[in-house]
């Protein structure tokens, strides 16, 4: 049974059903296109056929004024209309056209919305694939802080986990979505999230909570004239009442739900109600009537199987084709970029070649003029070199003489040090001995004063002699 409602994407309208009238002299401007697309989107849960018509009208006007964003959104709205009438092939074709235009004009937000729509189509075939699309949408929605789209994407992620039978994760995402929708006061989103929460409680066999939640969602759906939503909610409510053996209420919600399903021309829901009628009559033990419904179901199953199989194959083929086209476009763009780079490089090389030729010619002219100057400079350099060589030779002679003089002085210093050590050491030792006698009080200082004076005089005389010898250039050694 199709008892979950998918959130198509961004919605800001508080009233789902808005009657739209068209004037033959419609003003051809972008504001009109924007208004049409909003109205078409708002009608998706009330009259999806109307969404298709309004979307086509928006496309027609947008093409006349070459409003690419309006054209892309028009195709998206038209695809949503086909989606809610269970025409997946037409929905996908419109989505792909919309996606290509959004990519062409580099509208990231538009791409995110279409990705969410395509993810809804994949939800019936490949749950993981649908999650990829929803997660891509969520990244962009968070990047641009689009609250409606964030809330709607959590709702769709919950649907994917519901189909994977991971009810805890599904409920977590539905609850988060409901909270976000309440914060931005989006009645349609609140209703859809409530419905899906009720469905999860139904599958958890908590019929009382499911019934209460779904009745609240049913009330809100009627307040906002959400015909498709009413039909899907009634389908679950009728199943709950069948399980509770409340056949009267089950029949009441089935009949009401069939009416709304026919109103929105949802053949899938009509089929689901046929199956629910079979369950009701079987539970009532009215086997004759149950058998009639079962025969009808078998006939519809055969038709739907072929239709769904063809639709699923088409979805896969179209997606692969889209991916291939995208890859080819990326390669074409890269080839164009490479060609531009190559052309730029060739141009740059050509310019540089001309510059080099120009510089060579200019340099050649200058070189002739400079040759004579260079020759004169070369002669001057040779002359200066000869002068430098002569000066260097003179310097070498001076350095040799200075070096010889330094060697002699160093030799004298060495001899002076040795001589001083031997000549002075004796008198110093005598002085040292006399001082020790005085310190030990063995002799009186007055008695040895002449000897001390003699030693000092001797030292002074020897130092003077050594200095004279050291500074006498004619002497080669110390006496």
pLDDT at residue 363, as a whole number: 67
Task: Give the span between the Cα atoms of 153 and 137, in whole angstroms.
Answer: 7
Task: Give the span between the Cα atoms of 58 and 375, in whole angstroms.
Answer: 86
Q: Give CA separation, 315 vs 30, 87, 241, 322, in Å.
A: 32, 11, 36, 10
φ/ψ of residue 465, rounded to 5 = -60, -45
H or E segment at 217? helix 207-223
In the chain, where the domains are located: 30-285
pLDDT at residue 19, as a whole number: 38
User: Global pTM?
Assistant: 0.55
φ/ψ of residue 473, rounded to 5 = -70, -15
- Under CATH, which architecture does the 30-285 domain have? Alpha Horseshoe (1.25)
Q: What is the separation, in whole angstroms, between the first and last Cα of the chain?
A: 133
DSSP string, 25-92: T---SHHHHHHHHHHHHHGGGT-HHHHHHHHHHHHHHHHHTT-HHHHHHHHHHHHHHHHHTT-HHHHH
Residue 421 and residue 460 in contact, taking contact as beta carbons nearer than 8 Å: no
Task: Give the span between the Cα atoms of 87 and 221, in whole angstroms.
Answer: 23
Task: Give the span between the Cα atoms of 188 and 45, in whole angstroms.
Answer: 9
pLDDT at residue 460, as a whole number: 81
pLDDT at residue 79, as a whole number: 95
pLDDT at residue 434, as a whole number: 77
Chunked mean pLDDT (size 10), the chain, 479 residues = 49 37 54 93 88 94 93 95 89 93 93 89 84 91 92 92 92 95 94 94 94 95 91 94 94 94 88 91 89 80 46 50 56 68 72 72 70 75 79 79 76 71 76 79 77 82 76 62
φ/ψ of residue 227, rounded to 5 = -60, -45
């Amino acid at each position: 049974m199709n008892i979950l409602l998918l959130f198509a994407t961004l919605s800001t309208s508080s009233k789902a059903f808005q009657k739209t009238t068209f004037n033959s002299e419609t003003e051809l401007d972008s504001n009109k296109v924007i208004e049409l697309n909003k109205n078409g989107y708002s009608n998706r849960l009330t009259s999806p056929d109307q969404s298709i018509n309004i979307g086509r009208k928006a496309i027609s006007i947008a093409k006349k004024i070459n409003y690419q964003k309006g054209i892309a959104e028009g195709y998206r709205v038209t695809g949503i209309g086909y989606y809610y009438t269970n025409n997946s092939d037409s929905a996908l074709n419109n989505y792909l056209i919309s996606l290509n235009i959004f990519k062409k004009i580099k509208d990231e937000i538009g791409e995110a919305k279409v990705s969410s729509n395509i993810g809804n189509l994949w939800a019936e075939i490949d749950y993981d694939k649908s999650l990829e699309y929803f997660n891509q949408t969520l990244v962009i929605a968070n990047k641009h802080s689009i609250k409606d789209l964030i809330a709607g994407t959590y709702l769709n992620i919950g649907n994917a986990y519901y189909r994977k039978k991971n009810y805890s994760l599904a409920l977590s995402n539905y609850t988060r979505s409901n909270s976000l929708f309440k914060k931005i006061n989006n009645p349609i989103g609140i209703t859809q999230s409530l419905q899906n929460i009720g469905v999860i409680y139904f599958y958890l066999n908590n019929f009382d909570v499911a019934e209460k939640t779904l009745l609240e969602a049913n009330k809100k759906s009627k307040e906002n004239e959400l015909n498709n939503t009413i039909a899907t909610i009634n389908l679950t409510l009728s199943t709950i009442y069948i399980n509770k053996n409340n056949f009267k209420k089950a029949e009441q919600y089935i009949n009401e739900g069939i009416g709304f399903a026919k109103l929105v021309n949802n053949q899938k829901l009509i089929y689901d109600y046929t199956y629910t009628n079979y369950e009701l009559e079987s539970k009532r033990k009215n086997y004759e009537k149950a058998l009639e419904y079962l025969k009808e179901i078998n006939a519809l199953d055969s038709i739907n199987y072929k239709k769904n199989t063809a639709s699923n194959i088409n979805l896969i083929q179209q997606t692969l084709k889209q991916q291939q086209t995208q890859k080819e476009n990326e390669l074409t763009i890269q080839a164009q970029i490479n060609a531009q780079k190559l052309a730029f490089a060739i141009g740059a090389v050509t310019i540089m070649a001309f510059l080099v030729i120009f510089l060579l010619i200019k340099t050649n002219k200058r070189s002739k003029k400079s040759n004579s100057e260079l020759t004169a400079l070369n002669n001057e350099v040779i002359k200066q070199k000869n002068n430098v060589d002569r000066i260097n030779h003179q310097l070498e002679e001076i350095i040799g003489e200075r070096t010889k003089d330094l060697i002699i002085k160093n030799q004298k210093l060495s001899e002076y040090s040795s001589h001083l050590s031997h000549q002075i050491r004796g008198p110093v030792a005598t002085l040292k001995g006399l001082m020790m006698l005085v310190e030990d009080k063995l002799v009186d200082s007055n008695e040895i004063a002449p000897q001390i004076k003699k030693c000092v005089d001797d030292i002074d005389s020897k130092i003077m002699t050594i200095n004279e010898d050291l500074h006498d250039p004619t002497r080669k050694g110390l006496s």
